[in-house]
Amino acid sequence: MGEQAARLRIDKWLWHARFFKTRSLAAKAVASGLRVNGLSVAKPAHMVGPGDVLTFSQGRTVRVIRIAAPGERRGPAPEARTLYVDLDPPAPRAPEPQAPRYDGGGRPTKRDRRALDRHRDVLE
């Protein structure tokens, strides 16, 4: 009984640990490709427990997480961080370049606005 209580559905655990905003988003992430201990899992009902290593994509990053505790509820973020150990913390993102600012007084001229628009097009 104790072993069974320590295991939880993978979509529910991802939701408890606050990796995804809803359980349906967590289930979609599982269905799109997630690995548990190196093996691919496609069903959100797959049971996971402490010690399992999850590899999944979240946005543009790939997360590698070891489950530390099953979790009983979706609590606040500090509580959710105690449910896992991040094995590969994401690298800090490089700051985005600042758009040029108009330094002159008053409204920018047509020429100044065109220069700002050209710079914005290059960033996109």
Report the predicted TM-score, pTM, of the whole model to 2 decimal places.
0.69
| CA separation for the pair 108, 15 (Å, rounded) | 49
Nearest to 12 by CA among 44, 53, 54: 44
The conformation of residue 83, written as its DSSP 8-state character, comes to T
CATH topology of domain 2-86: 3.10.290
- Per residue in 74-112, pLDDT tens? 989 999 999 999 998 777 777 777 766 667 677 888 988
Domain residue limits, the chain: 2-86
Query: Which of 9-23, 57-71, 78-92, 102-116 reaches the highest mean pLDDT?
Result: 9-23
| CA separation for the pair 68, 49 (Å, rounded) | 8
